[in-house]
Amino acid sequence: MRKPSLTAEIAYGIETRIVTVKGQYARTLRALIDAGPKGVTALEVSKSWALRLSHYVFILRREHGLPIRLEWEAHDGAAGPGKHGRYYLDAIARIVSDSERQVAA
């Protein structure tokens, strides 16, 4: 099975660039783009691959310079109250190509 691949045009500030990522980083970027202004949490994205969502976001920020914001939210869980992170892509993004989806030109 091949790793998913995603290429997106990302615009923020006065900069626009093309970013290509593979594997879980592609899934993470796709989830952020799909979520738009509501953002994503690990639980909302997936109950399996996104357990390391904070790591994938860290790499997208550090290696690709993407403006991804984190806001903490309180929750009541089975183990008691706690908090979790919601991530937002603070940029205008357009998917150019996606190995897991058909993208209209």
Residue 46: the pLDDT is: 77
Q: Which residues contact 12 (CB under 8 A, 6 or more apart)?
A: 67, 90, 91, 92
What structural domains does the chain harbor?
A: 5-98 (1.10.10)
How high is the mean pLDDT in each 10-residue block of the chain (105 residues)?
Answer: 90 94 95 96 77 93 97 83 92 94 64
Q: Which residues contact 7 (CB under 8 A, 6 or more apart)?
A: 18, 19, 20, 95, 96, 97, 98
Residue 68: the pLDDT is: 98
3-state percent breakdown (helix, strand, coil) of the chain, nearest 5: 35, 40, 25
The answer to whether the beta carbons of residues 7 and 97 sit under 8 Å apart is: yes
- Amino acid letter, residue 78: A
The answer to whether the beta carbons of residues 75 and 66 sit under 8 Å apart is: no
Distance CA 46, CA 56 (A): 13
Global pTM value = 0.88
